[in-house]
Structure 1
Amino acid sequence: MTEYKMELEPTLISNITFSDGVIREMGTNKLTLIGTFHQFTVPRFPFQTPPFFVTVCLANLRGKLDGFKMAIRIEDKSSGLVVGSNGGDIGTIAELKPTEVVQIPLQMAVIFPSAGLYSVVVLAQSDVVGSRDLVVNSVTNVQTLPNS
């Protein structure tokens, strides 16, 4: 058995997930996230992303939601420049308990002006409730296959 010395302490990130698609099952309300990812690696800049989803999970909500404002902002961490955002109002039919988790997928399309570190910021009722990093890399060494 090998022992590993931890140089960094792992941390659990907030549940902010990126995916190519989302399906919500009728009846159970379960989400299926299709093609999850954690970064973009792109050939050139500026880069227009295809539509993708940012799914967030919120808890500690109470009562029936009606016109509850949600927004997602993607910012360049070095400058604070907002490169994309989306939002809307959500509502619930039933009363929510603080222990219930609400899953909210929002579709995004962003133009990244350059490679770098971006922050995905989640707002609820105009207050920041969480964020996570999103790395955007440049393809520096594209390997091509020889013609057969």
Structure 2
Amino acid sequence: MASKRKDVGNAAIVAPGLSDLEQLVPDLQYWPRSWSFEEQDIPFGQNLVKLLTPYLLHLLDSGYSIKTLKRHRDFIWMLGGRLIEERQLYRELRKLDARTILLRYIDDHDGGPLLDDRSEQEQGLFDATCRKLSRFMNAT
């Protein structure tokens, strides 16, 4: 499949006609590699992207401003990286599927896992995204 993006210097030009999802997350297909510590992390990351894509589509249909959509997108990306990190730290997690691990680390009360080197405000925003994701995942 031909890419609809052309890289020019450090800027990416997005071709007209991209879906809303492609415009919000033009690098979604590259998330698994960006999260990975080693090659065996990539299939898990791909499964995670499959789980997260319906939620990203749901966000697009929710009427949020582009700023809010981008914030949620960035926190979802951070969550994916954190889950890969947890799989690296706790090898027993490698026996579990992506959905099980995702639901283990998010809930509709506390939000998501603690992020390193983040302000209390940013952690609160991240937790809000994780709570929304948890409610979505438990409803589907």
Q: Which has the larger radius of gyration?
A: 1
* Structure with the bigger percentage of strand: 1
* Structure with the bigger percentage of helix: 2
Greater relative CO (CA pairs within 8 A, separation 6+)? 1
Q: TM-score, normalised by structure 2?
A: 0.26
